[in-house]
Structure 1
Amino acid sequence: MGNWFSNNSGTIVTDVVTIVAIIVAALIIRKITLTFIHRAVDKAAMRAESKPGRFLEAGLLMGAERRLQRTRALGSVLSSVASAAIMIIAALMVIDQLHISTGPILASVGVISAAIGFGARDVVTDLLAGIFMIMEDQYGVGDYIDAGDAKGTVEDVGLRITQLRDIDGVVWYVRNGTIKRIGNQSQGYARAIVDVPVSYAENPGRVRDVMVETAHQMFEDPEWKDSFLTEAPTVAGIESIEGDHMMMRVTVRTAARRSAEVARELRGRLLMAFDEAGVKVGIPAAAGTGT
């Protein structure tokens, strides 16, 4: 044993030094790479915060906060991938330096990886879905979304789990891989639709004029101006005729997530305007009913 060690001491020392050098080099390269990625992400985040939101006719599509969240999430994914790749390459180099054949090891790792991948395929699906959701900016924190099984305000977007809080305050944890469709009510614009039943005996043109005037008054009201987009309200007129009443409709393009409050306010103003103009509103009671 002593003779073998003395005969191979030079090779052993060389191998140890080489292994140490590989480990140190891998750590240094990993540190430099992560630092470069973090600086790039920080610069991109600063540009995201300083750059104004992108606007089209439909309204605000993407704001600084959404771009910031998206940039940091993608930077975290890139850092993890780069770190894993560097350490795997370093481990293979160390194994090779120990004069161990990497072929059987790689084959075994491939079989184990396949087994783990098959068993954890749901986790992999969730992670991939989360990455694409973030890259495509399908939704972000603060958005109100309908994810199929649950809907509510997004509180957190992770690579595997999306956290929602519904209108009752219940927190839902939805796996990204199970989301087949997303309805986002916070992007672009919303539409407020108000239907008012009016007596069949009323003049549709007169009713329409009252609705147009009321809707435009609200549109020009400074307190509600920010809730509307540049497009003026549209009175569609008679939406349907049912028995003794006709349904009159007015539609308004609003800022995202403002449609409900705009519809409530507009409905109240229309009822007051109809009352002042003497327009009969409501569905008459069915014949033969009453107290």
Structure 2
Amino acid sequence: MSFRSGLPIPTPLPLPPAETPCSATDGPWCEVVYQVTGTDWLARASSVVIDGAIKTVLIVALAVLVRSLLHRGVRRLARGAGEGHLPALLRPLRDRGAQRLQMAAVLSERRRQRAATIGSLLRSIVSLVIYGIAFVLILGEFGVNLAPILASAGVIGLAVGFGAQNLVKDFLSGIFMMLEDQYGVGDTVDLGPASGTVESIGLRVTTIRDAEGTLWYVRNGEISRVGNHSQHFSIALIDVPVGHGTNIPHATAIAEAAAREAVTEAPLAANVLGEVSVLGVQSVTAEAVTLRLTVTTKPGQQVAVRRAMFGAVSTAFTQAQIPPPTTAPSTAVPATPGQGLAG
């Protein structure tokens, strides 16, 4: 107590602390925001908003980092697959044609395209999975009840999957076709619904150009079997008919010599992988005796080699005067006078 003019002046008592709407469960940011804004609801929600924002930034940053690392790993894996270097886990996915022809050191354009396509698909899957998990975690940080959302998403996904099962089947078939290297762009294939040269491969459809120039769009889910004429190696096979009474050993020697001469000349010699094999008599009919010859060629080159062999053997048979096949007698009944004029 102090004195002024002889009168005592009372010392003011300290004011009680101002009451705040914050409780222990509102977090440390509640009082700070209340002192700045003086707003109850904003102060109580500040911890949820600020903590949620901080955690959201951390989740997004972690998701971007993980995605970047995984994308880098996928790119390195795809680059190694394109160059022919694969880890032991993925060695069954190596290009089969290069293995069979002992050309694994050659950087084929087909292998690079296949590796780039698979790498792009894997990167898309990685991004979708990581960002989906990050989105769910962010919703959980803001107190969103995820159980109804996940249940609804499951029901919607089941309905969409059931309604679009053909589309899902096409995509899954396309993925496995690329992983297993069943065919590539430029291959001559027989897919059942269509046959021809593959022009493009997608996750849903494969486009094929047939011999007449028609472009076919074949859904991957409809392909139940694949006959690839351009993978590993091909075989040029010709059946040469000769007439009855022909000296078979003599005709066989002439055919073998002519076929070998045809395949050893340029430019066919670069497409032949083995020697001409004479399998002998293939069949005997009332019209002719058929001789069969084969030779192994590079993939897709069997048609050109077959034509050259057949032309050479036919010319050699003509020069050697090998009897041609006999023509079967006509079985048609000759018309009698007045037949067909009734009516």
CA distance change for structure 1 residues 267 and 60 in 2, over 3 Å: closer, same or farther?
farther
Cα shift at 1:8: 3.1
Moved more, 35-44 or 214-223: 35-44
CA shift digits 1:24-64 (9 cap, x unpaired): 4323433443244334433543457xx9x7343x7779972
Ranges in structure 1 where 5+ consecutive residues have no aligned partner? none
In structure 2, distance between residues paired with 1:91 and 1:200:
81
Given the two structures, how large is their TM-score scaled by the length of structure 2?
A: 0.75
Task: Pick from 278, 296, 307 the counterpart of residue 253 of structure 1.
Answer: 296
Task: Pick from 21, 34, 52 the counterpart of residue 58 of structure 2.
Answer: 21
In structure 2, distance between residues paired with 1:59 and 1:46:
15
In structure 1, distance between residues paired with 2:107 and 2:202:
19
Q: Secondary structure at the match of 2:312?
A: helix
Greater radius of gyration (CA)? 2
1:279 aligns with 2:322: yes
Aligned to 1:95: 139
Q: Which amino acid aligns with 1:17?
A: I
> What is the count of residue pairs matched by the alignment?
285
Checking the alignment, whether the CA contact within 8 Å between 2:187 and 2:197 is kept in structure 1 is: yes
CA distance change for structure 1 residues 288 and 124 in 2, over 3 Å: closer, same or farther?
closer
Q: How does 1:261-272 map to 2 (within 5 A)?
A: 261-272=304-315
Task: Pick from 96, 107, 110 the counterpart of residue 66 of structure 1.
Answer: 110
Checking the alignment, whether the CA contact within 8 Å between 2:243 and 2:326 is kept in structure 1 is: yes
In structure 1, distance between residues paired with 2:71 and 2:213:
39
Cα shift at 1:18: 2.3
In structure 2, distance between residues paired with 1:151 and 1:205:
38
CA distance change for structure 1 residues 25 and 240 in 2, over 3 Å: closer, same or farther?
closer
Cα shift at 1:82: 0.8
Checking the alignment, whether the CA contact within 8 Å between 1:229 and 1:255 is kept in structure 2 is: yes
CA shift digits 1:161-210 (9 cap, x unpaired): 11111112221111111100000000122222222221212211111121
Aligned to 2:18: none
1:41 aligns with 2:41: no
In structure 2, distance between residues paired with 1:86 and 1:65:
32
CA distance change for structure 1 residues 39 and 242 in 2, over 3 Å: closer, same or farther?
closer
- The CA RMSD measured in Å over matched residues stands at 2.7
Cα shift at 1:139: 0.4
Aligned to 2:280: 237
Given the two structures, how large is their TM-score scaled by the length of structure 1?
A: 0.87
In structure 2, distance between residues paired with 1:15 and 1:76:
33
Q: How does 1:181-220 map to 2 (within 5 A)?
A: 181-220=225-264
Ranges in structure 2 where 5+ consecutive residues have no aligned partner? 1-37, 86-94, 333-343
Checking the alignment, whether the CA contact within 8 Å between 1:161 and 1:173 is kept in structure 2 is: yes
Select the structure that is richer in strand.
1
CA distance change for structure 1 residues 239 and 37 in 2, over 3 Å: closer, same or farther?
closer
Checking the alignment, whether the CA contact within 8 Å between 2:279 and 2:291 is kept in structure 1 is: yes
Q: Which amino acid aligns with 1:72?
A: A
Q: Secondary structure at the match of 1:154?
A: strand
CA distance change for structure 1 residues 219 and 167 in 2, over 3 Å: closer, same or farther?
closer
CA distance change for structure 1 residues 10 and 285 in 2, over 3 Å: closer, same or farther?
closer
CA distance change for structure 1 residues 46 and 224 in 2, over 3 Å: closer, same or farther?
closer
In structure 1, distance between residues paired with 2:78 and 2:286:
63
In structure 1, distance between residues paired with 2:318 and 2:295:
22
